[in-house]
Amino acid sequence: MSAKGQLTRHRAPALLIAGALCLPLATAPAAQADPLTGGIIGGIGGLAVGGLLGGGGGAAAGALVGGFGGALIGAERQRRREISRPIRVSEPQQPQRVVAQRNLVAGIQSELTQKGYDPGGVDGRIGPNTRNAISAYQQANGLLVTGQPSQALLDHIRNQGVTSQ
């Protein structure tokens, strides 16, 4: 076998090792920020490792592969962040949420009163009496005691709750 054939045969595992060494660079937190940053970091890492293992041609190939891989990883991370970003409620809808919350609390207070618990009146506001009445109801019905109002709690009180003793 010629010297060139032996060199090529020994280079293949080295290039695989180079690719494996570039992966941590492309998946580092900085590379995951966005496609551009990922591509730059991946390209630099590929350039360095490819240059060490394959000379000038290896450096060019490493930079190309590392840059492309880093850009793909950065783009995917950016897409996942955008999907998981919470939706913000616009200002005009805020009063509607307050009204809905007060209606929920008033419903719970009314149902608790009918079942013999004392939430301190039906005013739609959370106060110590309402929290204590909710907690007493949750305790009597084998629920997790949180003292917090919720739609699930209101549904439970309406459909299957037991009266106070």
Final residue belonging to a domain, choices 18, 50, 84: 84
Domain count, the chain: 2
User: Per the domain annotation, does 165 fall within a domain?
Assistant: no
- pLDDT digits 0-9 by tens, 4-20: 444 455 555 555 555 55
pLDDT of residue 147: 93
Three-class HEC string of the chain:
CCHHHHHHHHHHHHHHHHHHHHHHHHCCCCCCCCHHHHHHHHHHHHHHHHHHHHHHHHHHHHHHHHHHHHHHHHHHHHHHHHHHCCCCCCHHHHHHHHHHHHHHHHHHHHHHHHCCCCCCCCCCCCCHHHHHHHHHHHHHCCCCCCCCCCHHHHHHHHHHCCCCC
Q: What is the pLDDT of residue 138?
A: 92
Same domain, 8 and 79: yes
Residue 52 lies in a domain: yes
Residue 133 confidence (pLDDT):
95
Q: 24 or 161, which is more confident? A: 161
Q: Is residue 80 part of a domain?
A: yes
Tell me, rounded to whole angstroms, the distance of Cα 160 from its chain centroid.
35
**In this structure, is residue 45 part of a structural domain?**
yes
Q: What angle do CA 93, 99, 105 make, to 5 degrees?
A: 140
Question: Mean pLDDT throughout 126-135?
Answer: 95
- Where b means 16+ CB within 10 Å and e means fewer, 94-132 reads eeeeeeeeeebbbbbbbbbbebebebbebebebeeebbe
| CATH number, residue 115 | 1.10.101
Q: What is the pLDDT of residues 79-114, one digit of tens each?
A: 666 655 655 555 555 688 888 899 999 999 999 999
Q: Which domain holds residue 106?
A: 91-160
pLDDT for 7 equals 47
Sign of dihedral through CA atoms 117, 122, 124, 128?
negative
Identity of the amino acid at 160: Q
Give the mean pLDDT of the chain.
Answer: 74
Q: CB of 18 within 8 A of CB of 50?
A: yes
Q: Do 108 and 130 belong together in one domain?
A: yes
Last residue of a domain, one of 84, 99, 123: 84
Residues 70, 90 contacting (CB under 8 angstroms): no
Domain contains 8: yes
Which of the two residues, 73 and 143, has the higher pLDDT score? Answer: 143
Look at residue 144 and tell me if it is in a domain: yes
